[in-house]
Structure 1
Amino acid sequence: MTTAAATAGTGAEVTVGTLLRGWRERRRISQLELALRAESSARHISFVETGRSRPSQAMVLRLAEQLEVPVRERNSLLVAAGYAPSFRETPLQDPAMDALRTGMEQLLSAHEPNPALVMDGMYDVVSANRGVHLLVDGVAEHLLRPPMNAIRLTLHPEGLAPRIRNLGEWRAHLLERMRGQIAMRGSAPLRSLYEEVAVYPAPAGDRHEDGYGDGHSPAAYPFALPLRIEVNGQVLSFISTVTTFNTPMDVTVSELAMEMFLPADPETAAALRAL
């Protein structure tokens, strides 16, 4: 059973109507509002949700777009409605993805010496530049085995967590980010990952909960929360940006995200050039 089906049809028959109702309720919009967005009628939306009317393939896709249903789950909606999936799921190593992989590798290399990585929908790292390798140097070997998971690597007590000077703030940021994605996508595997990392213990003698460490305060970085991490005895500060693909037509592409870390201060920029 898909995660959307589990959400929408607990103990009931899973149909395209129950799935759509589940996504509509997840987005907290009424049948009337959805009808206006999809240029339909509240009556038709009601009939679809109750199974009295079978939506066309175009209507399924239109409703899914207005409900911001993830591409993977749009296929599930189509199948539940009796149609073939519209979106492929091409492995990233497939020759058809050569241009995509080349473009991502060029972006990663161009961002050096600053760290940058590409992750899939489960935060598994599919590619990273040398700046990331610098950050993960010295962490437990089992955390670096493929598929290397960025969230687990960051928050695990044998990973980066002992070296993150503002672990409390950064941990809260990552967990909130995951909660938002779980609410948006309804992913059971992502929820399992969240439940795993949320109970990781903080390092002994945690010094990270108050402010940013080393005398810094939140007011020192008013524009974005930095990641402050110790590397080779020096504290480096980064702010990050996340880039996704616009209007993806493939499940694999829809779940890719590139995270790039930028120096938050001149000292970090100089240290990266030296390292």
Structure 2
Amino acid sequence: MSSIHNMSASSRLRTPVALGTAIALGVAMFVVAPSGANAVTDTSLVLEASEAVVSESLENIKRSDESLLLEPTTSGSTIGEVRLGEGTVTVPATPEESVILTNPAGHSLGIRLPHPTQTGEATLSDTGTITYPGETTANSVVVGEIGVQMLTTIARADAPTRFSYDLELTNAQRLEATSNGARVVNAQGETELVVTKAWAKDANGHNIPTRYEVTGSTLTQIVEHTSVQNATYPIVADPIWLAPWVLKCLFGLGITMLDIGRALFPGTPASILALLGRGAVACIFGR
């Protein structure tokens, strides 16, 4: 098992916590009748990780550091198949199904979201974020210019600390840890998919210790929110998956894996686009 640590994460936060009202700045607790045909079927449950809470938590992140979030593309504001450059991303209506990345040749790679039986069916926000609300955590998917961002919103202290993404790989592919995240390589050792550096922040913008573990074809983000004194909920964490066809195009333009590694080190969409420059734009939009 491989492990990657986020060494910059703060291990001690100063903001007091009041769990009874800790559903983000100015957001009340919402009681929602869940819509998913899965384990979230008890209408008496309080879905603290509701769509409204997720939206407010993402606004908190924007106020803290907007460079961390991937902006949805115009075509990405939908559930189902979304065109991204020369390929497509399929965002499912139910959390048990995989997010599918399909390249121009028709080859697909599936990514299963964490804790699918603990979240409900997809909802689409006005900003284009697709959210699967839950009792203690929620999954969100954003299809943006460079790939797909999969966000976890952690609503309270008794929520899980491990969030696993199961990848549907071929026999010729393998998932491996890197110094800045993780990647999928083929039998020739060529990179086919890249995962950016892990990050996690609480409602006040403080860093929460987080890291990735790689076991077989599973990427697990560990968010150590229970180890941080006075963490303020909700907490948001993510991986960003760079679309395989974008990577292939960048390599074709002479951009090396070393260049991409440098761009990935800060772990933000803005840093990736800034460092890869015109090459990234050409590959994403085909011009």
Structure whose CA Rg is larger: 1
Same fold (TM over 0.5): no
TM-score normalised per structure 2: 0.26
Name whichever structure is richer in strand by fraction: 2
Name whichever structure is richer in helix by fraction: 1
**Structure with more contact order per residue of length (Cα contacts < 8 Å, sep ≥ 6):** 2
